[in-house]
């Protein structure tokens, strides 16, 4: 019996550690992504290490302002494995985020990464919501130089509350963090989620659901 219980504990802790793991650790010095490879793997296939060069580990252009002339007033410039092939298998990436005055990075989650954000310029309201059933809202206004962490998987957002532009750099614990934008996932899927499901989920009438479908 004691053996069974400890075995059960082992199995449980194994599955828990798998469930909360972020990207796997590398099994060699590096595995620079080969965008031309036809091999399908979890991640991207490696270039021949002998052909790897300095530019494979470099990205230029993060000093450039993103274009925030859009309805939400923000812009994300990604530096993931797709822009910087040397990130393949390393479990990290980053983004630059620009915000016009009152610009918003709308509620979203990253299925594969925690995010640590550093505010370089401006004043930024940030927040995330803990999982159900608690749904506790943790929010704070950041000033230049402040750092804030968004735990993996939780819905989070940012809003520029200063009078000028705001700029942040955020690091993420995956080479390919992914993004699920709540509004466009729920109301902008193709094909659409059946109206009745959204009517009941959001406690609104059909007209509102139709309207939201039409704009996302």
Q: Catalogue the E-assigned strands of the chain.
A: 74-79, 93-99, 104-109, 115-121, 123-129, 137-143, 147-150, 155-160, 166-172, 180-181
Residue 156 is labelled as binding a ligand: yes
Nearest to 47 by CA among 92, 87, 78, 94: 87
> In 3D, which of 14, 7, 84, 95 has the Cα closest to residue 52?
84
The response to whether 203 counts as a known ligand-binding position is no
Task: Please indicate if the annotation marks 110 as binding a ligand.
Answer: yes
Confirm or reject binding of residue 69 to ligand NAG (CB under 6 A): yes
In the complex with ligand NAG, which residue's Cβ is closer, 69 or 214?
A: 69
Asked whether the beta carbons of 149 and 123 are under 8 A apart, the reply is: no
Asked whether position 55 contacts ligand NAG by CB under 6 A, the answer is no
CB of 70 to ligand NAG, least distance (A): 6
Answer for which of 6, 58, 67, 189 binds ligand NAG (CB under 6 A) is 67
Give the residue ranges of the annotated binding site for Mn(2+).
108, 110, 115, 156
Binding site for ligand NAG (CB under 6 A): 67, 69
Q: Residues annotated in the binding site, as ranges?
A: 105, 108, 110, 115, 156
């Amino acid at each position: 019996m004691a053996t069974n219980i400890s075995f059960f504990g082992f199995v449980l802790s194994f599955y828990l550690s798998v469930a909360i793991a972020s990207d796997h650790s590398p099994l060699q010095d590096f595995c620079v992504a080969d965008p031309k490879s036809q091999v399908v793997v979890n991640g991207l296939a490696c270039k021949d290490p002998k052909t790897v060069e300095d530019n494979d580990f470099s990205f230029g252009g993060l000093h450039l302002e993103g274009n925030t002339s859009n309805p939400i007033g923000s812009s994300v410039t990604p530096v993931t494995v797709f822009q910087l092939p040397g990130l393949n298998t390393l479990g990290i990436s980053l983004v630059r985020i620009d915000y016009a005055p009152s610009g918003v990075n709308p509620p979203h989650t990253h299925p594969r990464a925690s995010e640590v954000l550093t505010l370089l310029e401006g004043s930024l309201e940030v927040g995330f919501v803990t999982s159900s059933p608690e749904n506790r809202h943790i929010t704070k206004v950041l000033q230049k130089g402040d750092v804030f962490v968004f735990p993996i998987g939780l819905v989070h957002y940012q809003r520029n509350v200063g009078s000028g532009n705001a700029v942040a750099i955020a690091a993420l614990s995956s080479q390919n963090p992914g993004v699920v934008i709540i509004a466009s996932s729920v109301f902008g899927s193709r094909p659409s989620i059946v109206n009745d499901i959204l009517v009941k989920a959001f406690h609104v009438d059909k007209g509102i659901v139709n309207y939201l479908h039409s704009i996302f």
